[in-house]
Structure 1
Amino acid sequence: MENVSDLEQFLADTWHDIANLVRESAVYVDHAATECLHWHTGGRMYSFLKDAGAVSVYELAMYNFRYVKVQNCKKAVIISTSTNPAFYQRTVKMIMEKNAFDCCTIVTAAHPTVLSYEDTVPLEDRVDYIKLKRDVRSWMRSNQQSQDCLVTILFRPIFISPIDDGLFVTPPFADLLSPLNSELVKNSECAVDHLVSLFNSLFTYLNMKEDIYSMGKFSEYVAEKLEILPAAVNRRNNLAGAKKKGVSLIFVDRALDLCTPTSNNTESLLAKILCTLPHLPHHCNDVAINMSPLFCGSQELVEVPGCLASNDKSLMNILITKKQKEVLIAMNKMLIDIFATKENLKSKLATRISARSLEKLVNKFKDIDNLHAITESSKKLQVVLGIIQALTSEKTSQLDLLISLEKLVLQNIAVSRDSTSVLGQFSNIIRTREKRGLDTDNILALLMHIYALAGTEIQFSPQQEQQLKEAIADAVFEDIAKLNENPVSNKMSVYQQTLLLFGVADAQSRKETSAKVAEHIMNVLHEVAQQRAFLHDYTSLMSKSSSQEIVQRVSILQQLLTDIFHPDRYEIPDLHQKSPSLLSAGFNLFSKGRVKHYPCDNDWVIIYIIGGVTPEEVREAKEIISLFNPNCQVTIAGSRLLNPLDIVDKFLLSSMDY
């Protein structure tokens, strides 16, 4: 686990460095940095900064500072992951003008080479943040008598949230997607420059030379950016010939497989938790757990929620890799152990464990007078409560129905092929969705699942597609009408928020808007189906090992890992390696896609999925790694943790034209 330890040390050193800056300061932290520190500290971000000597800690957002003035404090520390110059010109300016700070330190994850503060600023001024320092100093002076203001700007590579020992996500890039349309690649250029800059900082710290691979058109673009990054070229040249550790960094387009992340049929309990519990505010990877069962009646709500982030990475590993029955047994034993060590309360080991039996055990904590005993075990109790709330959620019946529909779709498509009637069936399901207890956004996720699964293997009939489009238009029409009648809801879905943005009221406008939305949805579904058309070996996500076996869905990641670690070392035409030199680049013209070095030749393999990764993919990956037992460590990574509705939001709803 040497490479994992090195990564943990990288994170520890980065945050320890920042902690040394915050003493006697008002600290402002943006959402992505908060999420990085949240996972690094096991959910104790606030106490980490307070223990380091921070006077106060604030969320870094403009709406938070209109009336906030920090009393009896002359120092400010701003921790930001933004590369957007407008952020500094607005938010930082507002903080400085509302307070009388005489010392300001900005810790930014935007390296000078990616923070284009102003296009008109000479390069030498940008490289040392000179223009930004000058502006911050002028904002500080506008609110105080003294002209002696100290401004320091420091680059620190804040971008990684460790979920467990084999998984990390990158909150600053939660919205970075591999687009369905390759013409949109350039729209993400700034974010890609930022991402490769931070990966370069990671490898610089670790003193590693990377081999870069890609699968998918957007990933190839990202890989090329990292390959030609001047700082990365210099680092690799300096390491040439030296004894060094190697790392294989594999970028994979999420868009190649939108079938897996839109599936509810998962053995990973973490996936069920992400589908049923709300996210922590401004977080993409952790959930808000109701802690009131520990302290009061279930009708009352404890204002501060619990979460899953923990310094004990084995807890997350259990939630990702173990089957539900095994997780329940492990949690039951953990609770009994807590009782035995803290209160000498005897409890028999149950033979059949359910969410309800766990709930009864948790309720016993109300009888414990020793608050310290609860506090010491609070993280374990938060995880247990998260499991209970996910498994007893009112959403579980809908999830069960969606899972059964998924299974039906898979077998129907596999058996019927081009004669499949699955779209006709779904048109009927859309029209009867309320009777079935299904929400429209879950049906949209299932439609994306169908088209991603079908790919270019299955051609749906134009008649069925027209019928489907009409059913979608009718559903959207009805949903807009209901929202206009009851517009206010604390738990409004992204789909509902999107419909409200159209701002239509009369029936004729609703009809036109509904037809427009349905047309957009069908166009996106067709794009989803085409994503693997250019691949050689990974065009299908269906597998049948024998004529007696039923067809199984198999993800792109499963297929890729199986090929990478197979002892026969197959050629992988769909995995492209960036050429590290002009000579090999010339040779690569004759062997495009042929991997000359093998990814597992290095002692560490990182597979980064651009657009996000699901707990189920990580579970499947760990099974394959365990099966082949390669002589290298493998880390799965991605922009964020995903659930099916995230895919609907990012790939379908956010691209709508209002």
Structure 2
Amino acid sequence: MSSAGVLSFAQQGWELVLAKVKWSVVYLDAACAESLHWSCGSSRLLEAVKGPACNLREFEPQAVGGGAQQPRAVFVLSCLLKGRTVDTLQDIIRRSHFQYCVVVTAVSHAVHLTANHVPAAAAAELEGQQPVFEQLEEKLCEWMGNMNYTAEVLHVPLLLAPAAPHLAFTPAFATLFPLLPRDVHLLNSARPDKRRLGNVSEVDATALTPELLLHIRCLVSGLSSLCEHLGVREECFAVGALSRVIATDLANYAPAKNRKKTAPGRASVVFVDRTLDLTGAVGHHGDNLVEKIISVLPQLPGHTNDVMVNMAELTAVQTVEENQNVIAPGCLAQSNDTSAKALWEALLNTKHKEAVMEVRRHLVEAASRENLPIRMSMGRVTPGQLMSYIQLFKNNLRALTNHCGLLQLGMATVQTLKHPQTAKWDNFLAFERLLLQSLGDSTIAVVLNQLLPMIKSPSQRTSDDYSPEELLTLLIYIYSVAGEFTLDKDLREAEDRVKKALAHVLSEELELSPLLQKITGHSHGIH
């Protein structure tokens, strides 16, 4: 499958959107904003708008409406035009002065028919027609207050956020997670009159909830559009229960069947449940710099696959009122910087040591091109050395502008190498190897008892001890590599001790991390 074709699929979709946004207030949801971020960047959208930056807004119920001088609006959404999404559209439009509205959805009209419970036979007869979109266009005019105003609803498959030529994310489906054994009980309770499922492997489409099936169909819609763009008829393979459902749905998707009759090329699509390799997500065996950057730097708000890079040392702006540094964070996505894109791809594909040397090489070459007074030094690359090269660009607006993307990746590298969590990486790796050896020699109950003394309250912990979030990571690692085991008396007692120790530690935390806040529903410990 062509990497250029995948990138052009994302960029072509955004070109269709950009053609609609001139002089408009543009509302994006988080998933579409992330796709834009990696595809062509928000600056490209602002150029197409030809208006001030405030014309770009987040799609949410509390979003600011359009004023009297803002008659045009474009809504770019990753989801079905149904339920809360339509309610939010109505709220924003009614409190605005729009006379021209365009709504772009990443979900095809065929899936909207499914969401509105239109039978497959009736949907087939509507080929070429879009009654759901047409009805919404009428509603948009009604909400704008004049049926003679202009409204347009169209489908653009904004599925991908292409991070590299051979790597793309699907932000709208970041929460789509494979089924777990406990989910079988929930599925059985929702279908008391049907055959009971024995385990996850018995799950098929008929056993899933309508909401989950619809979410899968939205993903299938986007994948089918991608295959259409690439001109291929796909052969689907699956590893895992939920992957099998997705692969089957793509194979049976009506628009896909029609496409396959004329597609000139062929492609194999392999779906794999993420639960089959949880150790890859929580383990510290990787020797990749990007993996460490994403692990230790704070997440870019609203994004699932990018981080915030502190750029204040290079471009600090003092505010008179608050006397504090104000600067937008840097990030990893550099869609418009050729040199930075080359470095980013090198970081993704090389080991840690080689990647750090690549950062140094790119910084040295950039400084030389700008005739900056660089002092070469060979040998081991250190954070201080990289920072000294980066500091050469400070207060040089032209050099900063020319190499902004490269400097953001350089700063991300420096901040990662200096981060305390990076120093813990090798400690994690050593302990994980010890756990793996222990699991081979003894039971999981013995391993949990080994972990128990490491669960320490905030008053007892030092910088070398594990935080509650890190302990949860180790627990996921233990259970992921343990394989199947029997829940006997010893294991129950060991698990109870670990649970009590974790609960005690969490109750004493002054402030919980964002992840722990999601898990517990509290922002701090419960005293």
Q: Is TM-score (shorter-chain normalized) higher than 0.5?
A: yes
Answering whether residue 431 of structure 2 is matched by residue 434 of structure 1, we say: no
Alignment partner, residue 585 of structure 1? none
The 1:261/1:99 distance shift into structure 2, 3 A limit, reads same
Query: Take 1:70 and 1:501, find their aligned partners in 2: how far apart are those partners?
Result: 38
In 2: Cα distance, 1:220 partner to 1:127 partner: 32
> How do residues 230-241 of structure 1 correspond to structure 2 at under 5 angstroms?
230-239=254-263
Q: Distance in 2 between matches of 1:8 and 1:467?
A: 50
Map Cα deviations across residues 82-121 of structure 1 (whole Å, 9 max, x no partner).
1151233221112211211111111111112222565599
User: How far did residue 504 of structure 1 move?
Assistant: 9.6
Q: Identify the match of residue 455 of structure 1 among 479, 483, 486.
A: 483
1:209 counterpart residue number: 233
Question: Which of 134, 137, 141 is the aligned partner of 1:133?
Answer: 137
Contact 2:373/2:392 (<8 A) preserved = no
Q: What amino acid does structure 1 have at the position aligned with 2:18?
A: A
Q: Which AA in structure 1 matches 2:506?
A: D
Q: Aligned match of 2:46 in 40, 43, 50? A: 50
Kindly indicate whether the alpha-carbon contact (under 8 Å) linking 2:109 and 2:133 is maintained by their aligned counterparts in 1. Answer: yes
Structure 1 position 165 matched with structure 2 position 173: no
1:477 alignment partner AA: H
Q: What residue number does 2:78 align with?
A: 81
Aligned residue number for residue 103 of structure 2: 106
Structure 2 counterparts to residues 19-418 of structure 1, below 5 A: 19-41=18-40, 44-45=41-42, 47-55=43-51, 56-65=55-64, 68-83=65-80, 85-115=82-112, 118=116, 127-141=131-145, 146-181=146-181, 183=184, 186-187=208-209, 188-239=212-263, 244-296=264-316, 301-311=325-335, 312=338, 313-366=341-394, 368=395, 370-414=396-440, 416-418=441-443
Q: In 2, distance between residues paired with 1:12 and 1:257?
A: 31
Indicate the SS of the match to 1:58.
Answer: strand
CA–CA distance in structure 1, aligned partners of residues 23 and 392 of structure 2: 42
Gaps in structure 2 of 5+ consecutive residues: 188-202
Q: Distance in 1 between matches of 2:225 and 2:444?
A: 53
Distance in 1 (alpha carbons) for counterparts of 2:280 and 2:452: 22
Q: Which residue of 2 aligns with 1:548?
A: none
Residue aligning to 1:563: none
How does 1:613-628 map onto structure 2 within 5 Å? Answer: none
Residue 5 in structure 1 maps to residue 30 in structure 2? no
- How far, CA to CA, are the matches of 2:444 and 2:160 in structure 1? 47
- Structure 2 partner of 1:572: none
Contact residue 83 and residue 110 of structure 1 kept, 8 A = yes
Cα distance change of structure 1 residues 505 and 429 upon mapping to structure 2, 3 Å threshold: closer
Higher mean C-alpha deviation, range 264-273 or range 31-40: 264-273
Contact 2:104 2:153 in 1 (8 A): yes
Q: Structure 1 residues 460, 403: closer, same or farther in 2, change over 3 A? A: farther
Superposition map of 1:470-509 within 5 A = 470-480=497-507, 482-483=508-509, 486=510, 492-501=513-522
Q: 1:398 to 1:127 in 2, by over 3 A?
A: farther
- The one-letter code sitting in structure 2 at the alignment partner of 1:207 is G
Opposite residue 78 of structure 2, the aligned amino acid is T
Contact 2:109-2:132 within 8 A present in 1 as well: yes
What is the match of residue 421 of structure 1?
446
Aligned partners of 2:448 and 2:498 also within 8 Å: no
Measured at CA, do residues 190 and 51 of structure 1 come closer, stay the same or move farther in structure 2, by a change above 3 Å? same
Aligned partners of 2:71 and 2:98 also within 8 Å: yes
Q: Which residue of 1 aligns with 2:471?
A: 443
- C-alpha separation in 2, matches of 1:291 and 1:251: 38
* Cα-Cα RMSD: 2.7
Identity score, percent = 25
Within-5 A mapping of 1:504-515: none
Task: Tell me if the contact between 1:129 and 1:153 (Cα under 8 Å) persists in the aligned partners.
Answer: yes
Query: Is residue 18 of structure 1 aligned with residue 43 of structure 2?
Result: no
1:207-227 C-alpha deviation (Å, 9 max, x unpaired): 211111001111111111011
Tell me the SS of whatever aligns to 1:293: coil
8 Å contact 1:286–1:309 — kept in the other structure? yes
CA gap 1:253/1:166 in 2 versus in 1, 3 angstroms: same
Could you tell me which residue of structure 1 aligns to residue 496 of structure 2? 469
Judge conservation of contact 1:111–1:197 (CA < 8 Å) in 2. Answer: yes
Cα separation, 1, equivalents of 2:279 and 2:85? 39
Asked if structure 2 preserves the Cα contact closer than 8 Å seen for 1:258 and 1:449, the reply is: yes
Q: What's the CA shift for 1:439? A: 1.1
1:29-62 residue CA offsets vs partner (Å, 9 max, x unmatched): 1110110010012xx31x1112113432111122
Q: Tell me the amino acid that sits aligned with residue 180 of structure 1.
A: L
- Kindly state the Cα deviation for residue 430 of structure 1 after the two structures are TM-superposed: 2.0
SS in 1 for 2:387: helix
Distance 1:466 1:316 in 2: 48
Change (3 A) 1:84 1:263: farther
- Give ranges in structure 1 of 5+ residues lacking alignment: 507-658
Shift of 1:320: 2.1
Q: What SS does the aligned partner of 1:100 have?
A: coil
2:506–2:525 CA contact under 8 A, matched in 1: no
Give the SS at the match of 2:376: coil
Letter in 2 for 1:422: V
Deviation at 1:236, TM superposition (A): 1.4
Code of the aligned partner of 2:312: S
Deviation readout 1:474-505 (Å, 9 max, x if unpaired): 3213322x25xx4xx5x733214533449996
Q: What SS class does the counterpart of residue 392 from structure 2 fall into?
A: helix
In the alignment, is the contact (CA less than 8 A) between 1:29 and 1:79 conserved in 2? yes
The alpha carbon displacement at 1:318 in A equals 2.1
Which has the larger displacement, 27-36 or 173-182? 173-182
TM-superposed deviation, 1:154: 0.7
Structure 1 letter corresponding to 2:504: F
Partner AA of 2:244 in structure 1: E
State whether residues 68 and 97 of structure 2, in contact with CA within 8 Å, keep that contact through their aligned partners in structure 1.
no
SS in 2 for 1:447: helix
Q: Aligned partners of 1:496 and 1:6: how far apart in 2?
A: 40
Report the Cα offset of residue 246 of structure 1. Answer: 0.8
2 CA distance for matches of 1:425 and 1:451?
14
Judge which range, 124-133 or 265-274, deviates more. Answer: 124-133
Kept in 2, the 8 Å contact 1:412–1:420? The answer is no
Q: Is the 8 A contact 1:262 1:448 kept in 2?
A: yes
TM-score (norm 2): 0.85
What are the superposed Cα offsets for residues 456-479 of structure 1, whole Å, 9 maximum, x if unpaired? 2x6586414412322222321332
On the 8 A contact 2:250/2:256 being kept in 1, the answer is yes
Contact 2:134-2:153 at 8 Å conserved across structures: no
Residues 344 and 36 from structure 1, CA distance in 2 versus in 1: closer, same or farther, beyond 3 angstroms?
Answer: same
